[in-house]
Amino acid sequence: MGCETDFGTALAGFFVYAMLVARLARELALCAGAASSGPGAGEIIAGKRNKRRGIVASLRGKTVAILVADEFEDIELYYPLIRLSEEGASVIVGAVPGGTHPRPYAPGKPITGRFGLTVPAPWLPEGSLYKMDLVKNLRLADLDAIVIPGGFCPDTLRRDAATVQLVRDAVAANKIVAAICHGPWLLYSADVVRGKKITSFISIRDDGVHAGATWVDEPVVRDGSLITSRTPRDLPEFCQAIIAGLQES
């Protein structure tokens, strides 16, 4: 009975999450459509995006890199992407190809999230709110912040030497580095949490403690330029902390 209950709960949770992701996809598609053809057209930083009436672009002139690999947590990529872009930031999705995932591989297949969303996505193509590049091509001097989504993609990111060095250098340069859910895995590998106060998904709490951090169970934790959060439900606080950090920098 217990196993059946657990399975039923997990299945229900999956469908709820899938509906949330689908809703996010529809909203992003509407935003992308409004950006390219809606009223109030005007140039903005990222690609061909247009101004939206009533929105103050508080991050104009800031550039944020969101690092991804296969099996990223879908909503933890697209929520910050749309939110930071909405604030006027120029967003670069920095990819590390070649990660592992359970879905069949096909040549040229885009980076794919845990719930099947791809980047670039057909409903939000590159050049609308963001551009894409390989992490190895990113220059720290061009970036104001780095965002690391969760899912299983940090397990690929932390094995890429260029990605680990980029994060380590960003923290040393006092750039905003924000990681959510399993994203702090990459911070641990970069050895940048020693003596810091952080949070993360509960299952990697001990990893953080072993890496020298003080772990707390809070929606968002900021220690200097380092920002961490626990799960998708903390995304509003996570993005607010990133925006506040960038406004100060």
Are 201 and 182 contacting, i.e. CB atoms less than 8 angstroms apart?
Answer: yes
Active site residue 182: yes
Secondary structure class of 148 (helix, strand, coil): strand
Angle (CA) 42-46-51 rounded to 5° is: 25
Cα separation, 57 vs 51, whole angstroms: 9
Q: What are phi and psi of 216, to 5 degrees?
A: -130, 155
Helix (H) / strand (E) containing 2? helix 2-37
Number of other residues whose CB lies within 10 A of the CB of residue 116: 10
Pairing type for strands 226-229 and 220-223 reads: antiparallel
From the candidates 31, 153, 181, 239, which is the catalytic residue? 181
Active site residue 181: yes
Q: How does DSSP assign 72-125, residue by residue?
A: B-HHHHHHHHHHHHHTT-EEEEEE------SSPP-TTPPEE-TTS-EESBTTB-
Catalytic residues: 181-182
